[in-house]
Structure 1
Amino acid sequence: MLTSTGSVTALRRYPVKSMLGEALTSVDVTPDGLRGDRTHAVLDESGAIGSAKHPRKWGRLLDCRSRSAGDGAVRVELPDGTHLMAGDPELDQRLTELTSRRVSVSAAAPQRARLERAVPEYAGGVPDAVRATASVDGTGERITVGGTAAGTFFDFGRIHLLTAGSLRRLKAVHPAGDFDPRRFRPNLVVDTGDEAGFAEDAWPGRRLRAGGALFRVLVPTPRCVVPTLAHDELPPDPGVMRAVAREHRVPVLDLGRLACLGVYLDVLEPGTVRLGDPVTVLDGP
């Protein structure tokens, strides 16, 4: 039995973690997520993964754009418009200059990946227990340190889905905010029509079919500081996450009530998803 229907209104992937990505009209979904998504990341000499979740250290990565070039290759566009391929030593040198630390682009996740996150001031930005362990690093930022999903550059689930209804709900309660979905770096944006905002709160544990792929909805997606940063032509907007924290703090696993928007998915059946494809949330596991 169906519990919700809609359609895919946007598809995006991000071949290099924390760089701008690319809009797609169709994409193959593999057991590991969207083909070509988060296949590479920028690493420093300590093995830390470059993530704009620590913007003082890695925010300049959002000035770069990554695109899949086929057969696992990735092309990066630098802020001055230069295009270089991942694996080119010149790209590593240019990114070293951009981030002011020696870095390289890698397709291999470190065995013990280290991911640093700035601690936002608003409630629900990180679990309370994690906030208590935060320390100040050399940039002067309060950070926490965690990892990624084993063997990958994904934070948790392989697919991130947003609903247009939730973005509209946030815009209604905070009209001054810029809730362009690109700020939240989704893989899929789904419009469920007239359903109220945060319809996805009822989805965890259920199956979701989009086009030819079938997914399991895992948990709500906790949000970090990244949506507040400049993305392409979108200016910084610190108010968007304060609005999310006010309007939508929900329980996530055993982490407490966190500021969330969207849901994480895992892949049950690979397939192709296209813009306009129907989306169906199914009753039962």
Structure 2
Amino acid sequence: MKVAALYRHPVKSMLGEEIVRARIDERGIEGDRRRALLDVTTGRIASAKQPRAWRQLLTMSAETKDDGVRITGPDGGELDEAGISALLGRPVRLITERPAGSVLLRSVPEQVLADGIEAEVEYTVQDFGKAAAPGSFFDFAPLHLITTASLAGTPAVRYRPNLVLETDGEPFDENAWVGRELTVGPDLRLRLIAASPRCAVPTLAHGELPADPEALRRPARLNRVEPLPGMGPLPCLGVYAQVLTPGTVEVGDRVEVH
């Protein structure tokens, strides 16, 4: 098994960047999800998991630069906070620290499956970073991995992973890795901590990729597992990981499950 692709998402819920080499420590890939947009009116974090309000985030791209981050809109033009606010239709502020008590809203996957993202779906409040280090905007953990077998030809960007692993195994083999350790390249060592429950985001248009409801329907049909005790079976694809030993990873590096 080897690393097929690496992705970094400098701003939460915006399109990210494919990279060939990454330094990874307990905070995840360097520069990944270190920024987010704060809804000035509500005080909540902007997330495409609330698609009726924030799907336009996925028309914007964020790229890491030496002096921070460069954000571009659908036409490729660079955007500042005023331009982002105008595109979203509400005032937002780019932040690098999570405000105390900050939350986001996420659509309920079962309602999305039944009624679609255009319906008046229910939203649940979600807090941040159950297993993530401070100073980041991960929903749960600092790394997300997925295999090419599980993607089954679906573009990886829909699921926003950090590492795509090329494997000859079966789809959803990574479910069995939870609780085990993974080595990637010469130094990086990870612990797999939970399957990744899917939300409405993979179904949305991502840049030039059109909307695709099958991106949620497929795991709902084929891979319902319980990510954490008490959550019940949910549509899942990929696994979350914590970093045990930091390291630098490149595309093509060997991956082993222990």
TM-score (norm: length of structure 2): 0.91
CA–CA separation in structure 2 for the residues paired with 1:94 and 1:123? 30
Q: 1:142 aligns with which of 122, 144, 160?
A: 122
Q: 1:183 aligns with which of 135, 158, 171?
A: 158
Secondary structure of 2:84's partner?
helix
Stretches of structure 2 lacking an aligned partner (at least 5 in a row): none
Q: 1:82 aligns with which of 58, 77, 81?
A: 77
TM-score (norm: length of structure 1): 0.83
| 1:119 to 2:108 alignment | yes
What is the 5 A alignment of 1:100-115? Answer: 100-115=89-104
- Name the aligned partner's letter for residue 109 of structure 1: R
User: Identity across aligned pairs (percent)?
Assistant: 45
Aligned length: 247
Q: 2:235 aligns with which of 253, 256, 259?
A: 259
- For residue 122 of structure 1, report the CA deviation from its aligned partner: 5.4
- RMSD between aligned residues: 1.8
- Name the aligned partner's letter for residue 259 of structure 1: P
Q: For residue 66 of structure 1, what is the aligned residue in structure 2?
A: 62
CA–CA separation in structure 2 for the residues paired with 1:8 and 1:145? 34
The list of structure 1 runs, each at least 4 consecutive aligned residues, that deviate by more than 4 angstroms after superposition, is 122-125
- Name the aligned partner's letter for residue 80 of structure 1: D
* Contact persistence 1:122–1:245 (CA under 8 A): no
- The structure-2 alpha-carbon separation of the partners of 1:47 and 1:245, relative to structure 1 and needing over 3 Å to count, comes to same
* Contact persistence 1:123–1:245 (CA under 8 A): no
Secondary structure of 2:101's partner?
coil
- For residue 70 of structure 1, report the CA deviation from its aligned partner: 2.5
CA–CA separation in structure 1 for the residues paired with 2:188 and 2:111? 36
Secondary structure of 1:15's partner?
coil
Stretches of structure 1 lacking an aligned partner (at least 5 in a row): 1-5, 85-90, 126-138, 169-177
CA–CA separation in structure 2 for the residues paired with 1:223 and 1:241? 7
- For residue 116 of structure 1, report the CA deviation from its aligned partner: 0.5
Q: For residue 44 of structure 2, what is the aligned residue in structure 1?
A: 48
- Name the aligned partner's letter for residue 78 of structure 1: G
Q: 1:196 aligns with which of 167, 170, 178?
A: 170
What is the 5 A alignment of 1:1-285? Answer: 6-45=1-40, 46-70=42-66, 73-84=68-79, 91-121=80-110, 140-149=120-129, 152-168=136-152, 179-193=154-168, 195-211=169-185, 212-254=187-229, 255-282=231-258
- For residue 240 of structure 1, report the CA deviation from its aligned partner: 2.1
Which is greater in Rg? Answer: 1
CA–CA separation in structure 2 for the residues paired with 1:219 and 1:53? 19
- Name the aligned partner's letter for residue 147 of structure 1: D
CA–CA separation in structure 1 for the residues paired with 2:157 and 2:112? 23
CA–CA separation in structure 2 for the residues paired with 1:251 and 1:181? 22
* Contact persistence 1:111–1:151 (CA under 8 A): no
- The structure-2 alpha-carbon separation of the partners of 1:123 and 1:80, relative to structure 1 and needing over 3 Å to count, comes to closer
* Contact persistence 1:124–1:259 (CA under 8 A): no
